[in-house]
Amino acid sequence: MTWRGENFGVALKALASGIEPGRPALLHGDRVIDWQAFDRITDGIAAGLIARGLKPGDAAGQMQRNSPEYVLAYFGCAKAGVRPVNVNYHYLANELGDIFTRFDLKALFVDPEFAERAQAADAQGLAHVLVADPDAAAWQELCRTPLPEGYAPHPDPDEMFYMATGGTTGMPKAVMWPFAEAWQAFQIAHWPTQLGQPPEIVYTLEDHVERAAALPPDHAESSAPMLLLCPLMHGTGQFGAMIHLLRGGTLATLPGTKFDPDAAIDAVVKHRARTLVMVGDAFSMPLADCLEARADAAEAIASLKAMTSSGAVFSLSVKERLVAVNPMMAIVDTLGSSESGGTAVTITTIAGTTGGGHFSQFPGRDIVLLSDDLELIPPGSGAVGMVARTGPLPLGYLGEDRKNAETFPVVGGQRYLITGDRAHWREDGSLAFIGRDNMCINTGGEKVFPEEVEAALQAHGDVADVRVVGIPDPRFGRKIAAVVLLREGCETGDAALDAHVRAALASYKVPRLYVFTQESLRLNNGKPDYRTAQRLAEEAAA
């Protein structure tokens, strides 16, 4: 029988048994939790959930910032067969009540600062609010709950975790990921080798543990420690962290409530981090600015072998600034989503960027292009279509039958995931990714993808950040508007930016309106804030 992967709780216990005593699993400031303590504490949390009446298939929310407690609660849930689900800690009480009810939460792990707001939410069925304060007696008692007789981590690899995703439309939805499907989709048993070489794939849990045990953090081939800059409550952070830990790695997180690039660089030095995980320009631009201002920049990040990003635009110009500081480092930029994991990738080194800077389909992914009528688009046609891929896949969205039918259609007897990306085939058989389908702007019958125009503008040295939106136009229906945040001290105007874009893109993609702002064009999680950009553009056009 082919090995499909494990329930993450089962894998954790096996890894902790096979890894040498004392190897760090979780780092947070001066706190260190080794792999054996990681296993012991998550056993206690699992036992605590069981003692409170939670059973396999129940769901528990996590309204927490990055911390060891987030990871401990997640794996404690997995060991109990309880389904962990991320809850955005920016939500207010009425939004939380909706989430708690629709996701049918039975328990909620919450940081102390959010406890009052969570308890004010109106939600039936939420019986247990567990405050994840490592200094509090109640949390310490939960982590030391005696194990019931015959205890073992829940063994079912088809039990699930939920990944809550808001996207750009509708209310947040819970993506239902069976552990075994995620194990395969995230390619957890595909051990990276040298850059550009195929991975080493293992086919049993025993071999997987043996491979992890052979790669302590001080091993030359290790990617640990991994320093996570982006939130665990979002897919990029959570998926990256879980993949790393399920290979026996060491995960470092930053104390604090806001991203501080200086603190991030200092943490690289402190932990001698090998890998940095972030979300596009929101993290990389201030990081590049900070490095260029530090006399110790090259020495500070000399330990880094890779920076990885997903979930937002990561401008090539910023990548080039970062690899100039550490020419031995690779930057891995992945196109993915909460529903798909990685779909496409581009890698940047001091020597250049794969695919000429264009995304190429992720290795091992069976990807096709579909027309709007769900017909296969063959390579060589030149037509733009919807990117779709086959399994391993999540089961769909919790309680969203109509959305599931749209996003996971069956074509020719095969179930696909429509990723939400648009692309066309290149002559070499690879895919040229254009942009997100739900962000596409129709202007006079021409389709314009904001990401493409943003990338062109971002390449201008005076542009710090930019959002591209569509605003009403009596002739074309919608016209392209660019909302621009310039770098400090820069006074570039419409004409210079217009000339810059016209040199790179077709004329119908060129913005007809430029709006300059000092407001942030990012949400608190680092993702693009199109609502603010839309408001600013419409106000300027009025």
Confidence check: pLDDT of 210 > 80: yes
Confidence check: pLDDT of 467 > 60: yes
Predicted confidence at residue 366, as pLDDT, reads: 84
Confidence check: pLDDT of 313 > 80: no
Distance of CA 90 to the CA centre of its chain: 17
Cα→Cα distances 357→286, 294, 423, 432, 463, Å: 22, 28, 15, 10, 20
Q: Which residue has the tokens 């942009």?
A: 435
Residue pair 497/514 in contact (Cβ under 8 Å)? The answer is: yes
Rounded Cα–Cα distance for residues 177 and 111 (Å): 25
Confidence of residue 91 (pLDDT cuts 50, 70, 90): confident
Residue pair 151/51 in contact (Cβ under 8 Å)? The answer is: no
Predicted confidence at residue 525, as pLDDT, reads: 66
**Within 10 Å of residue 3's Cβ, how many Cβ atoms?**
17
Q: Which residue has the tokens 């693009």?
A: 528
| Mean pLDDT of the 284-304 span | 96
Closest CA to 64 of 95, 110, 131, 120: 110
For 313, how many CA atoms within 13 A lie in the half-sphere containing its CB?
27
Predicted confidence at residue 325, as pLDDT, reads: 97
Cα→Cα distances 113→64, 94, 106, Å: 9, 17, 20
Rounded Cα–Cα distance for residues 470 and 530 (Å): 10
Residue pair 93/114 in contact (Cβ under 8 Å)? The answer is: no
Confidence check: pLDDT of 150 > 50: yes
| Mean pLDDT of the 183-208 span | 91
Cα→Cα distances 442→57, 282, 375, 432, 532, Å: 43, 27, 22, 20, 20
Confidence check: pLDDT of 168 > 70: no
Cα→Cα distances 21→34, 41, 216, Å: 8, 15, 11
**What are the DSSP E strand ranges found in 196-297?**
200-201, 226-228, 251-253, 275-278
Predicted confidence at residue 194, as pLDDT, reads: 78
Structure tokens at 236: 């990029």
Relative to beta strand 477-486, strand 513-516 is parallel
Per-residue pLDDT tens over the stretch 328-362:
999 999 988 889 888 888 999 999 988 777 788 78
Per-residue pLDDT tens over the stretch 26-77:
999 999 999 999 999 999 999 999 999 999 999 999 999 999 999 999 999 9
Residue pair 89/190 in contact (Cβ under 8 Å)? The answer is: no
Predicted confidence at residue 455, as pLDDT, reads: 87
